[in-house]
Chains A and B, each alone.
Chain A
Amino acid sequence: MVELLAQYPLVAALIALVGLAAVFGALLGFAAIRFRTEGNPIVEQINDILPQTQCGQCGHPGCKPYAEAIAGGEAINKCPPGGEAGIQALADLLDLEVIPLDDEHGEEDPRPAVAFIREDECIGCTKCIQACPVDAILGAAKQMHTVIASECTGCDLCVEPCPVDCIDMLREEESLQNWHWHLPDPVSRNVDIIATDAAPEATSRDRAA
């Protein structure tokens, strides 16, 4: 056997290659079964970036279906609540070009909104409850309904079904609780920070004087 192989190196090489192919093939086949991933992991990652307002502005019934559609090759610029930042994140994840938001699906509003039911006008028809994708509306038939503000995603879906039009979308106003510092305006001279005010040379000379 060894002699034969020594005599015909081509056969030896062939046997070696076929042997390697068989071994790795078996290994890969085993790995494919053993370490099988359930579902599409990229869909989960995309879904993680989407804002989960479940508003359907993208034309899909919820964020997960849109995530699936994106994984299937749909455009990434159909999510107004996610806005430019969301498109940026999706483009980074999927290695795509950043494209501007598709106006057809709505405009980005930086201030989050919360649905509010004018309770004395509510007739208790439960239509908004059925429309709410996150069960954020509380109420029963012929009883007044109300929105649980902390659960509301501001998706707008309850406004249209209301037969008496008693739902308002309230934009969050800036208050002491949600105020935060903003990036300085590079053009403005009205900078609130104090540290930069100091002209070190001038004041130290003052002190020396």
Chain B
Amino acid sequence: MRKVFDFHGGIHPPENKQQSLQTPIVKAGIPPLLVLPLSQHIGAPAVPAVAPGDRVLKGQLIGEARGFVSVPLHAPTSGTIEAVEERQIAHPSGHRAPCIVIRSDGLDEWIECRGIEDYTTLDKSDLLQRIRNAGIAGMGGAGFPSAVKLAVQPEKKISTLIINGTECEPYITADDALMRERAEQIVSGAMILRHLVEPEETLLGVEDNKPEAIATLLTAAQGTGLEVVSFPTKYPSGGEKQLIEILTGKQVPSGGLPADIGVVCQNMGSAAAIHDAVVLGRPLISRITTVTGDAIDQPQNFEVLLGTSMAYLLEKAGYRAERNNRLVMGGPMMGFTVPSPDVPVVKTTNCILAPSERELPTPPPAQACIRCGMCAEVCPASLLPQQMFWFAQGKEFDKLEQHNLFDCIECGACSYACPSNIPLVQYYRASKAEILQLRRDHEKSEHSRLRFEARQERLEREEREKAEKRAARKKAAEAKAKQGTANGEAEEDPIQAAIERAKAKKAAQQSAADAQGGSEGEREKLEKAVVSTRKRLDTAIAKLEQAQAEGSDLVEALQTGVDKTRLKLETAETALAALQNSSDSTTAESTSSTDAAQLAIEKAMAARAAEADLSPAEKARADLEKLEQRLEKSRAKLAQSRDAGDEEKIIEALEATVERLAGKVEQARQQLQQAESA
């Protein structure tokens, strides 16, 4: 007899297993409609591989695995795909999820299945692929893809393979029934697993409250080298970490995996499914489900096609809805209330519990924690549930993590033991979810921060590049100017050079005028201009006539051209005439009148002089008028550019201008008032 160990805590709730073990496993038959959720496992949901209207055969692939942690989905019977749509599923949230709906044709026609006679000849990765392709996910309740669990890294030496037949939760007998009736399948599956994992020992762990199952397993396992180990009944010895401790005495480290200490665990149901997949080549399309509770007339185990509605099963077992206070999927400790009996059976549905109010009464209201410490005594993970309860209430998440909240297996032993009826597990579940949410949020905010900083950097870089370009252009212009002046004079400043040039020109003009005793040069120029303009006018008129003769579209344009040229000619002629008149008068006058710049300066001076003559009030009024005009103009410009949808920068600049002008107008107005009052 092998030495078995014990784990901390645990409880002994009433088992209530006998009710459903009175009859052998019954085939539930083919329901008219099967609803198969695409996500019946942990990981990415499967992707539909069929479309409504397709005919499918039993065992045909209807959903493909997406990603590594995912499993495919197969048609449980032959029929037609009725829809791929959202349906209500068995989930505590009551939300809907995408499902494939099959209308069965009753023929139950298998697709061609090819099993392997001798799996030892197969490559291990092929064998794993086969298990994965059969859609096998942990059938104990969590639904973790089996192939992922079995794909242990080669550097981790596995010493023990454990097949879990504990089924410690009250009421559930699906694995028990399976072991009693299909021990050969389980043993065969276990040997495939042993071949895959190559452990030093393979243990089939069963609680001692299932003597029949142990007996049949022992018979089936004779001569195979598999060891059937029984151990005292206690809840939750079926928890993976607890079972490992019971059988090996080793504890899985906090946050670690069983593979870290050289252990791999698989469920009995999964072992049987692996046998079907490898030896018979059949995918996972049905499972054993216990239907039990006080509201059931004949509690029993069904072999049920996945996707069968719970209502269909309940009817087969004699369901008395009026006695049932709620419908639970899973056991009384870790199960959850399903939103309606119409939800389908999935790969993880080990039990449908329909208890009466007397059997599972509505929980009494939670009372204050009295710090009795019972929860800490029963906790199989050696945590401090009452302490975590306070932290969960106060949302002190870092303290919860320090108290190893994530080692909680949510078995419900603490809630069961609590004399104040505090739903402790619910606090832990909620806190775990909250912490994970916070972690995700923090990850996201970190991501946004990086993106924000990258953007800032980019904007700065662009700004810098623009500035550099501007500087480069300026430099180039300067260099060019330098070159120009270097060719001519040794002047450095281009502006200075321009001034010099202008001065030189002016001086030359003046000297020419002086030399010729009047505006001889000017006159010559004007005469030339008159002659050339006349010539141009003649050609333009000729062109116009031609165009008129041809009836071209250009007539109008040519006409305006002619008019313009004529106007120019006239002005040139009058200028010439004026010059001829003025040339008789003093030369000084003529030179001053030809200098436009001088003229403007004189005009400005005259205006200033006129202004000086004005009273301060009048001056202020004039100022104000001018400013108002400018404000009007820039407002119009802003509106225009807004309508045109110009760049924001432009609009902003215009807005700033308008504001500035408005301020100035205000100032001017005040000045005016002051001036008037003065």
Contacts and interface: CB of A to CB of B under 8 A. Distances in A.
Interface of A: 47, 50-54, 62-64, 85, 125, 127, 130, 133-136, 151, 153, 161, 163, 174-176, 179-184, 186-187, 189, 191-200, 202-204, 206-207
B426 A51 contact: no
B361 interface: yes
A184 B426 contact: yes
B48 to A, nearest CB: 16
B331 to A, nearest CB: 8
Given A62-B452, A63-B452, A193 B360 contact: no
A194 B95 contact: no
A51 B443 CA distance: 10
Counting from the closest, the 5 A-B pairs by CB-CB distance are: A195-B412, A180-B433, A52-B445, A181-B429, A179-B93
B92 interface: yes
B14 A191 contact: no
B119 interface: no
Nearest to A207: B14
Nearest to A163: B645
Contacts of B97: 176
B334 interface: yes
Nearest to A176: B95
A192 B337 contact: yes
A198 B353 CA distance: 14
Contact of A53 (B15, B392, B429, B448): B448
A180 B451 contact: no
Interface string B419-450: 00111011101111110110001001111110
B416 interface: yes
B521 interface: no
A175 B423 contact: no
A135 to B, nearest CB: 5
Nearest to A206: B14
A203 B359 contact: yes
A192 B336 contact: yes
Q: Tell me what chain A mostly uses at the interface: helix, strand, loop, or mixed.
A: loop
B332 A194 contact: yes
A195 B413 CA distance: 7
Contact of B363 (A52, A63, A191, A204): A191
Contacts of B446: 52
B648 interface: yes
27 contacts: A47-B449, A52-B449, A54-B448, A62-B456, A63-B452, A64-B449, A134-B452, A135-B454, A151-B448, A180-B434, A181-B92, A181-B426, A183-B392, A183-B426, A191-B363, A191-B366, A192-B92, A193-B412, A193-B425, A195-B412, A195-B413, A195-B425, A196-B423, A197-B332, A198-B13, A206-B14, A207-B16
Interface size classification for chain B: 35 or more
A192 B332 contact: no
B225 interface: no
A134 B363 CA distance: 49
B433 A198 contact: no
Contacts of B67: none
A200 B13 contact: yes
Given A180-B437, A181-B433, A184-B426, A194 B412 contact: yes
B429 A134 contact: no
Interface of B: 13-16, 39, 91-93, 95-97, 328, 330-337, 358-366, 392-393, 395, 411-413, 415-416, 418, 421-423, 425-427, 429-434, 436-437, 441, 444-449, 451-456, 645, 648
A54 B446 CA distance: 12
Given A130-B648, A176-B39, A187-B365, 6 more contacts: A52-B445, A174-B93, A176-B96, A196-B412, A204-B14, A206-B14
A176 B91 contact: yes
A28 B413 CA distance: 57
Contact of B332 (A64, A153, A198): A198
Contacts of A54: 448, 452
A161 B648 CA distance: 10
Contact of A195 (B334, B434, B437): B334
Contacts of B392: 183
Contacts of B648: 127, 130, 161
Nearest to B395: A85
A153 B93 CA distance: 27
Contacts of B336: 192, 194
A196 B427 contact: no
Nearest to A123: B645
Nearest to B649: A130
Contacts of A187: 365
A133 B16 CA distance: 61
A163 to B, nearest CB: 7
Contacts of A161: 648
Contacts of A176: 39, 91, 93, 95-97
A139 B433 CA distance: 36
A133 B363 contact: no
Contacts of B415: 193, 195-196
Contact of A194 (B334, B418, B429, B437): B334
Contact of A183 (B335, B427, B447, B449): B427
Contacts of B411: 195
- Most chain B beta-carbon contacts within 10 A, residue among A47, A189, A203: A203
Contacts of A136: 451
A57 B96 CA distance: 37
A134 B455 contact: yes
A204 B170 CA distance: 12
Nearest to A151: B451
A153 B450 CA distance: 12
A198 B93 CA distance: 22
B416 A196 contact: yes
A118 B546 CA distance: 59
Contacts of B432: 181
Contact of A198 (B91, B365, B416, B427): B416
A51 B441 contact: yes
B430 A195 contact: no
Contacts of A52: 445-446, 448-449, 452
Contacts of B366: 184, 186, 191
Contacts of B423: 184, 191, 193, 195-196
B365 A189 contact: yes
A196 B449 contact: no
A53 B451 CA distance: 11
Contacts of B91: 176, 179
Given A175-B95, A176-B93, A206-B14, A198 B449 contact: no
B40 to A, nearest CB: 13
Given A125-B645, A130-B648, A180-B437, A189 B93 contact: no
A177 B92 CA distance: 13
Nearest to A125: B645
A153 B447 CA distance: 10
Nearest to B95: A176
A207 B16 CA distance: 8
Contacts of A151: 447-448, 451
Contacts of B436: 180
A136 to B, nearest CB: 8
Contacts of B429: 180-181
Nearest to A61: B456
Contacts of A153: 444, 448
B430 A181 contact: yes
A116 B453 CA distance: 23
A153 B441 CA distance: 10
A195 B332 contact: yes
Nearest to B455: A135
A101 to B, nearest CB: 17
